Structures are given as C-alpha cells and as structure tokens.
A and B are shown apart, each in its own frame.
Chain A
Amino acid sequence: QEAAKYEKKVMVLDFVTPTPLGNSWGLGGTCVNVGCIPKKLMHQAALLGQALQDSRKFGWQFTEEVKHNWMTMTEAVQNYIGSLNWGYRVALREKKVTYENAYGEFVGPHTVKATNKRGVEKLYTAERFLIATGERPRYLGIPGDKEYCISSDDLFSLPYCPGKTLVVGASYVALECAGFLAGVGLDVTVMVRSILLRGFDQDMANKIGEYMEGHGVNFIREFVPIKVEQIEEGTPGRLKVTAKSTKENQIIEGEYNTVLLAIGRDACTRKIGLDKVGVMINEKTGKVPVNDEEQTNVPYIYAIGDILQDKLELTPVAIQAGRLLVQRLYGGATRKCDYVNVPTTVFTPLEYGACGYSEESAVEKFGEENIEVYHSHFWPLEWTVPSRDNNKCYAKIICNIQDNERVIGFHVLGPNAGEVTQGFAAAIKCGITKEQLDDTIGIHPVCAEV
C-alpha cells in the first residue's frame, strides 16, 4: 500500500499452503489469521473467565455455574478475522494494488511464476521484489505427527473443542496457547524438552512457568515425544503419546484428546525459487541475511519480516521495516528501521512485557559489575479483594552504571503488561536514566507506578 502511494505499479502474491490437516485462511498473513489476533482474543476469553470468578468477591451474584463454549468463541474470532481479510482486500483495491491469491516463486531474473489453487500458472516481471513469506510451524518428524497433531495454524479455527490437550514446546506460542486453553477450563499439559522461553530473560521465564503451574497447567519437563498414535477417531479423538526422557532412559505414555505442536517455526524460503535468482539464504535455518536496508545479496530483491536472519520476529517490526523501505526507495527518505529496543509482550496467563536487554545479555555485554538491577514484587489493587496471589507480579529494570544508570532493560510481569510496556519503550528510546525514572511521579493506584 505504501508503494502504491508513490504511484508505483504494485502486485501482491499471497497464498496459503494448507496445513497437513487441510486448513487454510485469507489475506493478512500469520498475525491476522493464525497468530497475534486470534491469540489475543482467546487470551481475553480466558481472562474474562477469571474475571467472572473474581466478580463474585466484588459483589456480583449469579447462581448458575459458568461454562465455556469453544464453538461460540471460535466462530466469533473467525468472523472478526474474516472482516479483517475483507478489509485488506478492499484497501488494496482502493489503493490500486493488484492482488492475486497465488503461490509465487522465482523462475528467472526479474520473473516470478504465480500458481493459483486451481493450478493455473501466470508469469510476471517487475523492477523490484519484496519477499515477506514468513514462517510455518515445524513438525517433530516422529511417527504420527502430521496425521494426528495440530499446530497453531489449526488451533484458532478448530471446529471442535480440543479437550484434554498436550502442548509440546516451551516457546511463547506454546505457553500462550497452553495458558488460554487452561483458562477456558481445559485439562492442559505442557511437555518441555529443556528450558522455557529460550532467548527471553530466564528469571522472568521461570516466574511465568511457576505461575502457570500454580494455576492449573501441568508441566512434564525434560521429555520429548517419540510417537503419536490414534486410539480413537473423533472430534476430538483420543491420542496416545509416547515420550522419552532427555536425561535417562525413561519412557512414559499419556492419553490426550489433542496434541498441539509448538516447537518452532521454519522460514518459507526453500520452495520459492531463490536459487534461480541467486538469493543467498542460511542453509541451516532458511533465514535470509539482509543489510541494514533490508536488501538481499541480489540488489533488486528485498526481504522483511520473520524470514530475516538475526532480526526480531514481530509484526510491527516487519510493518515498520516495509514502510521505511518503500519510503527510502520511492520517497527519498533515508530513515532505516531501528531494531534495537523493540518492546514485546508474551500473553501468558500472567502477562510479561519487556523492552531492551534481558538480565543475562546485559551481564554478557556490559559485565556484571557494570549493571544494576532494581526490582520489586507488587500486588495489583484489583487482585486484593478476590484474594489473588500477592507475590507473583514483578517488575525489574536493568541499568547501565557506566552510562548515568541509563535504563537498558525493562521487564514486567503482571496484568496488562503490554499496555504498561509500550510507554516505557518510548522512554527507553529517549534514553531514560534511573534518576529520571525516579523523578517521574507515579499514577496511583495502577500497576505501572511500580
């Protein structure tokens, strides 16, 4: 859309290769269809469930037992997503961007072949190309994985309640899904190979795990599944999972209605003909290395989003990178995308917001003696009356002593962490120091005042 503003002739090729179970979706990419949007809505469904419980302590009286209907939630979420898909179609059309629901792949210099779902092929040439093909969930490579397991690609439109679920993985996807599934009343177990939330501040990761364990999510640690078999067909059916310990020779078995794989995502770069135009990718990870102007090794081909090597896999980052790229190419701008100090939030039952360095990376980069960590537990006022935990919410900032105690890392664990973190991210971008933070009077009574 940005390029069309500069009167360029633009085409978008978007195609979703169906999941092993046949699932597909509309225009908008992962975030809209099988990522952030449905995830946050379902997280909200779980939070509302908790709120209903708390409400009794605040005086609301209702005698009926409150139950959750998976189909009602899923239909409402899918309907909203459908309106977004449609909105994008209208927006592209209004801005005169040509859209084709077809699978694009390079066949030669400046040329792509687009194949639609009926197998009809068309060739297109262009002056420049932007690759933003994103990633898809990885499968385990064990017997029964593709036939019986689902991934996040299937979960948000699952036409039946998943029932007793085993989530394999300890990524934020795994923990967020496990969190809201448990929040809507399902029996959930998370099978973890080693650590939780690799790449995130481990102190915070462990607190998240502890909280979830104390609130109805079972964890099986240091095991990996080696086989998934079907005991009974159905919606949901019954599956038997066999798992092996990563430490000793122990084998365990468990029965679940649904097995959700969330062990990682792989870049969609291997089947789009990049070799035909000489675009280099990291053979091991499939990611695309680019310079700081999002250009690949082939000058007329650019890339943004989750497929980039060593960059954050976040929707707003990709959007920003894309917009700035086009402004540089056609608008004479020079601003490059700033990948530093990007705030993020993990929407686990106890939300975690962060911006900047984790404690470990700060220690690694600056040395333990040069950083100071300020931290505090806090008890949200809203949690007091319903007697919810008084020692679980937590915040910490990491400061660089050598640089006026500049705040280089911000971490908060508590309700509305995303909302809280956004403001602090702006402050960190401006280079806020501990002293300035201390000088900022807090809003009371809110969690953010800590």
Chain B
Amino acid sequence: MGWEEKQVRGYPEFVQTAQRYRGRPIFALFCGDKDAEGRSWCPDCVTAEPVVRMELHNMPDESVFIYCLVGDRAYWKDPNNEFRKNLKLTGVPTLLKYGTPQKLVEEECFKAELVRMLFTED
C-alpha cells in the first residue's frame, strides 16, 4: 500500500489525525508556519524539509506521514504552547515516530542518514 501524507495545522488537528491512524506507524514533522510565498519563519525547517521528503520512501508500508505546521513564531516561543507541554517538543523542526521516544531535533533533521535510520528502525 505504501505510505500516505496528511497535512495539518495546530495541535488539535494534529492529535485528531494521529488518533485516526492509530495502529499504523505514524511519523510526524513539525515545522513553523509558512507565509504566503510558502517560506517558513523557521530557517532550520526550510533546510530540513527537503531532506526529510527525500527519505520518505524508506518508511515502512502503511505508514502515515503527518506534516504539521505548529503556528507562528510567537506561538512557538511561548513556553506553554500545547506542543511543548503535551508532546514535549523542544524545538522545530522535530521529526518523530509517534508513540515512541525516537525523534530527531533541529540540526539532526538535516542529516539524511539519521532520518533514514528513524524511518527504518524497529
């Protein structure tokens, strides 16, 4: 069946989507919002996204890749935002395997090898 991508924005939408695909491997990439020209306020996210996308084909069959925009810079900087509080995210970009402690944060997401390792690990 391969894998599919879901694009969401904001915490409630993320949680709802993750619940919907419970039982399948779920990988999520969290990035800062994009402006009208499609550029994110987060420069590291701009660097990481193409690297991650190149490796998506390494995900196991049936995987769901959730591309999640977290919000604007002010929202992200707030130490109490839901992503920080509930998902324990510490930075963007974060690429994680949902439901496990496996994740890559910030510059780790620039490394294709590490991204591939996250997608193919068991």
* Residues of A bordering B, CB below 8 Å: 79-80, 82-83, 86, 89-90, 93-94
Contact = CB atoms under 8 A, between A and B. Distances in A.
B71 to A, nearest CB: 25
Contacts of A90: 104, 108, 114, 117
Given A79-B101, A90-B108, A94-B111, 8 more contacts: A82-B100, A82-B101, A86-B100, A86-B101, A90-B104, A93-B114, A93-B117, A94-B114
Contacts of A79: 101
B90 interface: no
B121 interface: yes
Contact of B121 (A80, A83, A89, A94): A89
Nearest to B101: A83
Contacts of B47: none
B117 to A, nearest CB: 6
Interface of B: 100-104, 108, 111, 113-114, 117, 121
CB-CB nearest 3 A-B residue pairs = A83-B101, A82-B101, A86-B102
B95 to A, nearest CB: 12
Nearest to A80: B101
A94 B112 CA distance: 11
A86 to B, nearest CB: 5
Contacts of B113: 93
Contacts, number: 21
B30 to A, nearest CB: 17
A90 B113 CA distance: 10
A123 B108 CA distance: 31
A83 B113 CA distance: 19
A118 to B, nearest CB: 12
Contacts of B104: 90
Nearest to A92: B117
Contacts of A89: 117, 121
A79 B100 CA distance: 8
Contacts of B121: 89
21 contacts: A79-B101, A80-B101, A82-B100, A82-B101, A82-B102, A83-B101, A86-B100, A86-B101, A86-B102, A86-B103, A89-B117, A89-B121, A90-B104, A90-B108, A90-B114, A90-B117, A93-B113, A93-B114, A93-B117, A94-B111, A94-B114
B62 to A, nearest CB: 21
Question: Which of A82, A83, A90 has most chain B Cβ within 10 Å?
Answer: A90
B88 to A, nearest CB: 10
A412 B104 CA distance: 42
A80 B103 CA distance: 13
Listed residue (B101, B108, B114, B117) with the most chain A CB atoms within 10 angstroms of its CB = B101
A265 B121 CA distance: 31
Contacts of B103: 86
A80 B88 CA distance: 13
A90 B115 CA distance: 10
A10 to B, nearest CB: 16
Contacts of A82: 100-102
B79 to A, nearest CB: 21
Contacts of B102: 82, 86
A89 B117 CA distance: 9
A112 B15 CA distance: 47
A82 B103 CA distance: 11
Contacts of B111: 94
